[in-house]
Structure 1
């Protein structure tokens, strides 16, 4: 791969921290997608509110589990690699991770 500014070859981006678990993440997301479609059907079918809320809670917990896994993968791979590269890169990745975690906690 080359960059347009320099036409010099660049090293490929290292795989993301979740790469080794990518298939598992995709399976989980497809399962969550099916749950969300099921909730839409429940609403279309005028299902009892509490039953819908129970399913919404299950989807929320499933998404939180994916988020926690991705945070762990990011810290264990991306942040560690950046810290090995330089203090500045490591600090930037830690700040980025902190912001992402704060967004997750607020949601």
Structure 2
């Protein structure tokens, strides 16, 4: 399913944020940063990725319901999509 650009933009923003945090984690490890500081940044990566995933699932569910109508939605497909982030 192709998502509308307006729905994809905020997800891409979240992913770019995660990318930036991950680059910071890599640099910190290369520079010998304190473990606690690295873990704090790694936690930010994890949070940004999880939020991106949830936003993608929510957007996908919404678009399925809007474009296909509730009566035509493949419930198993939606369940797999939803559970992929459970």
- TM-score, normalised to structure 2, is 0.78
> 1:104 maps to what in 2?
85
**In the TM superposition, what is the alpha-carbon distance from 1:52 to its structure 2 partner?**
1.0
Q: Distance in 1 between matches of 2:83 and 2:51?
A: 16
Q: Where does residue 51 of structure 1 map in the other structure?
A: 37
For the pair shown, the structure with the greater C-alpha radius of gyration is 1
Structure 2 match to 1:95: 76
Normalized per residue, the structure richer in helix is 2
Query: What is the root-mean-square deviation of aligned Cα atoms in Å?
Result: 2.2
Alpha-carbon distance between aligned partners in 2 of 1:54 and 1:40, rounded to the nearest angstrom:
13
C-alpha contact (below 8 Å) 2:54/2:85 kept by paired residues: no
TM-score, normalised on structure 1? Answer: 0.66
Structure 2 alignment gaps of length 5 or more = none
